[in-house]
Structure 1
Amino acid sequence: MFVDNEGARLWVEVDGAEELPALLLWPNGSVALRVWDHMVPKLNHRFRTIRVDIRGVGQSVPAPTAEDDDGQFHFDVYARDACAVLDALGVDACHVWSQSWGSRPAIVFCARHANRVTSAALYAANLDLPDVPKQREGSRLAAERQQAAGIVVPPPPDRMREHANPDTVPRAMQALTRFDLASVVDQLTMPVLIGTGSLDPNLVSSRAIADRLPSATLSVLEDVGHNGILERPEVALERFLNFHDGIGTP
């Protein structure tokens, strides 16, 4: 289904029974909501999952503007987009799970609209600008260690890099340069899980966030790089479900 907000058309997919707790899933950088395809069937016994393509990414269409006007590509706008989706679905509050780049707008959503967030699992959370070469190196090393240990990692979901408007994807991702996450992270008072790979350079910032937030718990995913839900999906899921057991989610 499409949901319109502030000139954009947002592609939304909802799975799971309506009476289950709502779970809003934020995708990794430069990929569509399809990145969660392998996780959703394993979540729908417990959650009603809500996935949204960021405006300009996947099947979502950004608002028509001049090519040099990137004002709509901003984390505050993405947070309002999420609110519009929840409103369209009649959802007052939700749990959140995000991965990598997606943890950035997720932090803003949780800070700006805390009344709509029951809990947040922020994987590979990072308040600083990303060190992409080190992220890639960490994921490469993780793959080597997993192969040496005989761990078989499933292939990434199909079509997660299919975009209706490929030219707008980089512009949408550049929102990370326009927001100081450190200025809002202290507003996260809900239960927070930070799940970050031991080989991810983001772990430095993840530790700092966990130390900063009284409501946060850090879970280090051993021998995992920057993309836990893709590199070790079963471990990422186990930590997520254990977190919800701990906070009493039905």
Structure 2
Amino acid sequence: MRIAVRDGIVLHVESDGDGPALVLAAGLGGSAAFWDPLVPRLASRFRLIRFDHRGVGRSDRPATGHSIARLSADVTDILDALGIDRADFVGHSTGGAIGQELALTAPDRLRRLVLSGTWARADARFRLLFETRIAVLEALGPRAHQGLALLLGSGADWSPAREAEVAGALDIADSMAPLDAAILGQRMRMLLDFDRLDDLPTVSMPTLVVSAEDDMIVSAVQGRAIADAIPGARFALQAGGHFFPRVDPHGFCWLVTAFLEEHP
């Protein structure tokens, strides 16, 4: 479906399943399709709300105005359009930053919060990594950047199925328009601007933080810092590189559903 948010941008939104509303927010890639491997496992219990971020996929592509705060407001606008007062929220990487922003600025809209593979403040390693990625994008183009991102984001297991997925992602990068490349650069800069670590002690809803011990993009140290800052938050470790929810969808869904069931 297509939903217009408050500044007139139209977003692609998908709704699957039936039950309590559960928003799934993807990372820097920003695509609702990131969650495809998890949908069959979650849609029997929840009404899943997924969306392409502004500037990504089937949503509108504004040339400016990209920020975590703006993406957070997009989520509340989606919930309003769908008539949903409160929802559970699972956010991975950039989606986890969106979840933190929502928990701080619109806590009445969230019941429970799962923050996956995410950070609350850009430490020196994170800043160096994304400054380098921006430089590669601007100097060498989308394909080189995508190759770097895939290498950093993957675990050690490169099965034939994984190789096919990588080849498809590189083909998409080859066809990236100049506007899309410029938007990607803005989206990476917004990650460096995001800083909510000092505010997290005010988060009051039940929270699960999940990191991967072998994540080369967002270290487990950053996930632990979030869990330590949020009162009562639970911390869990998985494996599979930065894209661990897709690498082990069964294990990730088990963590999420067990947590949600423990906090009705």
SS in 2 for 1:194: strand
Q: 2-side partners of 1:98 and 1:21: how far apart?
A: 17
38 and 116 in structure 1: CA distance in 2 versus 1, 3 angstrom threshold: same
State how 1:181-200 maps to structure 2 within 5 Å. Answer: 181-200=196-215
| 1:155-183 Cα distance to aligned partner (Å, 9 max, x none) | 76998869896333332343212331224
Give % identity. Answer: 26
| 1:208-247 Cα distance to aligned partner (Å, 9 max, x none) | 11122123100111x3321211222221111111111221
Q: Alignment partner for residue 118 of structure 1, among 102, 111, 134?
A: 111
State how 1:1-250 maps to structure 2 within 5 Å. Answer: 1-5=1-5, 6-17=7-18, 20-63=19-62, 70=64, 72-129=65-122, 130=126, 131=129, 140-143=154-157, 166-167=180-181, 168-200=183-215, 202-221=219-238, 223-248=239-264
Deviation at 1:153, TM superposition (A): 7.7
Structure 2 length as normaliser, TM-score? 0.77
Q: 1-side partners of 2:167 and 2:75: how far apart?
A: 24
Deviation at 1:52, TM superposition (A): 1.4
Contact 1:10 1:59 in 2 (8 A): yes
| 1:44-86 Cα distance to aligned partner (Å, 9 max, x none) | 11100001111101111144xxx5xx3x211111111111100
SS in 1 for 2:157: helix
136 and 55 in structure 1: CA distance in 2 versus 1, 3 angstrom threshold: closer
Structure 1 length as normaliser, TM-score? 0.81
Deviation at 1:94, TM superposition (A): 0.3
Q: 2-side partners of 1:97 and 1:154: how far apart?
A: 27
Contact 1:55 1:172 in 2 (8 A): no
156 and 233 in structure 1: CA distance in 2 versus 1, 3 angstrom threshold: farther
Contact 2:224 2:235 in 1 (8 A): yes
Q: 2-side partners of 1:203 and 1:58: how far apart?
A: 29
Moved over 3 A (4+): 131-142, 152-165
Q: Unaligned stretches of 5+ in structure 1?
A: none
Q: 2-side partners of 1:31 and 1:126: how far apart?
A: 16
Q: Number of aligned pairs?
A: 233
Between the two structures, name the one with larger relative contact order (CA 8 Å, sep ≥ 6).
1
Q: 2-side partners of 1:154 and 1:26: how far apart?
A: 25
Q: 1-side partners of 2:48 and 2:163: how far apart?
A: 21
Q: 2-side partners of 1:35 and 1:54: how far apart?
A: 12
Contact 1:35 1:156 in 2 (8 A): no
Q: 1-side partners of 2:35 and 2:246: how far apart?
A: 9
